[in-house]
Chains A and B, each alone.
Chain A
Amino acid sequence: MTNKKRIIISSALIVLLFGGLWVMELTMNTASMLFVVLKKGAIYALLVAAINLLQGFTGLFSLGEAGFMLLGAYTFAIFTIPVEMRENIYQYYDGGLVQFTIPVWAALILGGLVAAFFAFLIGFVVLKLKSDYLAIATLGFAEILRAIFQWDKLGVITNGSNILRSFPGFSSVLFPFGVVGLCLAAMMLLINSSYGRAYKAMRDDEIAAEAMGINLFKTKLQAFVISSFFAGIGGGLLAMYQLTVKASTFTAALSDELLLIAVIGGIGSITGSVLASFLYIAANEWWLRFLDQETFIGAFKIPLLRSGFRKVVFSVIIMLIVLFYRRGLMGTREFSITGIYEKITAFIKKKKAAKGGAGK
């Protein structure tokens, strides 16, 4: 398959996806469950892929994702709340310190940069630690960040432990898809570049990688900063989706949940992360809702169905995947047009050959 062909097919697929979404938005009820799943699923896809970049491609076990999301979400909110609303929202802090707004796209990028900057500082300190210590240390930093953002002395900026709201949300489902698509594309390019190969070498064997001339600390720090940048953007998008931001929601449990989704999709596959995120959100918000409702067939009450059962079923599924299907949905495979094209052509050739054989 030539390069030109590949580019044509991939651009056609992208146009088809966005065209399809556009038509769907015009024709269908945008308040329906489908659009909730699409928006939230896209955001989760980015967040899970960011975790996977660390866990799956670099071999860094980080549980601090929630902290970087918090930075992204707060940065976004602080710089996009309309000035006239600030008096009302920062009511305990005289309208807050920041008295201007910046465009949505700039606020998202700024959120990513703030998260990346903090990741740089934190990474300097913790990246020398080994697997499980690293996990606990990053978790610790996320908890410290959460405490700092709830501190009333910083209330003029963060509004203390009160919520931030009234900032712009999504005008169309195309927006999160566009941002997430760009980020994922950048991530794929990174993974397939020489940097990405250095990450994988480090994941497979740190000592061998070092012997091949890879600067371990520098490479780890780079991966950590990049992953946090995307987590920050994801946090900003999550803020746009939820329309409110509150520091107390960015808990360690959120990081755990995202990591478990990455495990479902397959540690080491961005495609897997994306698939698993949409599946998880669709099942969680939509398809498995019935598990939480008490249901009767005639006079017979179906046992077990009651509020909270959905989460139990989920956790059992996750445990089954962790224990018996450790590769997840995709393992380390990725979706690629070339791969599918080759499979199809090989299949056609095989059929032709079989026919030819029968003719003799």
Chain B
Amino acid sequence: MNEFLLMGMAEISGGGFFQAIAGFFQTNLPYILAGISVGGQYALIAIGYTMVYGILRLVNFAHGDVFMTAGLICFYISTVSPLIISLPLTVLFTVALGFTIEKVAYKPLRNAPRTSAMISALGMSYLIQNLALYITGGLSKQYPQIPFISNSVTIWGATTKMVTVVTPILVILLVVALVTLIKYTKIGMAMRSVADDFETSRLMGIKIDNVISMTFIIGTFLASIGSMLYFTNYTAIVPSSGAMPGLKAFVAAVFGGIGSIPGAVIGAFLIGICENIIKGLGWTTFSDAFTFALLIIVLIFMPSGLFGEKKTDKV
């Protein structure tokens, strides 16, 4: 791999710039494909983070664990029923879980200081992981094979699973649907206004609780779809499976500008691709660290991210 890179470098100096780029793509294609695939899955989680943060100013630490739970739910349901039933049921139960978490853990703290809500989110994440540990008995569970998307496919000489191709398409479709929902429907308008100004929206007669519930429902719905794609690639589910993807998705949301849905999606794809190229270069130890380094750089040099709005605090 590195020799190829070096060759590529040599060619750059020789003037064959495009050839070098082509060479780089050729050698790194499997990693880029994996990056696009995992990036799309991060994107589906990141939307949940960015929407909740946009409205509640809360980092929902439990979101990654809800994502993991979606995997477990699918595993347990599919032991008793065919996939055609278990997949919709998974979505349903995950959404119910997200809805319940908001009602139980965040709603009572709506008027409390922000750190209390964040501690509650941490506690919820701790609870979900421990519950998962208890229920699974500490053994990793094998995610069921979903036909079609777990088939193998060859793209330009790189063999990969069908999910790699399906993910970006599905993500784009879902994002378009979501953006349409937010732009053109009544609930979407309510969401935008609550995100803009909590108190005034309440005065205007918007039912804040409904809007927040809706946000959680959309977020967990997308996370459950994301879990189907993600666990098709990484089939072993353990209680901490959701922690890292969750954090990375959050970083993606910050990178894209928190509160912005297209930003979160683009950020997630970039992170997924960079991370896998780093793995391809043989720096696997640092593939997670890279994400956090990126986060810190973004926070310092452009705190509002790629597409975020600049906000100033009023005294």
Chain A interface (Cβ within 8 Å of chain B)? 55, 61, 125-126, 128-129, 131-133, 135-137, 139-141, 143-144, 146-148, 150-152, 207, 252-253, 256-257, 259-260, 263, 306-309, 311-312, 314-316, 318-319, 322-323, 326
Contact = CB atoms under 8 A, between A and B. Distances in A.
A322 B119 contact: yes
Interface residues of B, number: 46
A323 B296 CA distance: 31
A270 to B, nearest CB: 18
A136 B134 contact: no
Q: Is the interface of A mostly helix, strand, loop or mixed?
A: helix
Interface in B76-121: 104-105, 108-109, 112, 114-116, 118-120
B11 interface: no
B299 A315 contact: no
10 contacts: A55-B115, A61-B118, A126-B299, A132-B58, A132-B118, A308-B133, A319-B120, A323-B104, A323-B109, A326-B112
Contacts of B296: 125-126, 137, 140-141
B295 A259 contact: no
Q: Is the interface of B mostly helix, strand, loop or mixed?
A: helix
B159 interface: no
A135 B293 CA distance: 14
Contacts, number: 123
B116 A140 contact: no
Contact of A136 (B59, B115, B123, B300): B59
Contacts of B250: 136
Contacts of A148: 289
Given A141-B296, A257-B126, A147 B59 contact: no
A259 B116 CA distance: 12
B4 interface: no
B123 A319 contact: yes
B16 interface: no
B300 A260 contact: no
B134 A151 contact: no
Interface centre among A61, A136, A253, by most B CB within 10 Å?
A136
Contacts of A309: 134
Contact of A322 (B58, B123, B137, B293): B123
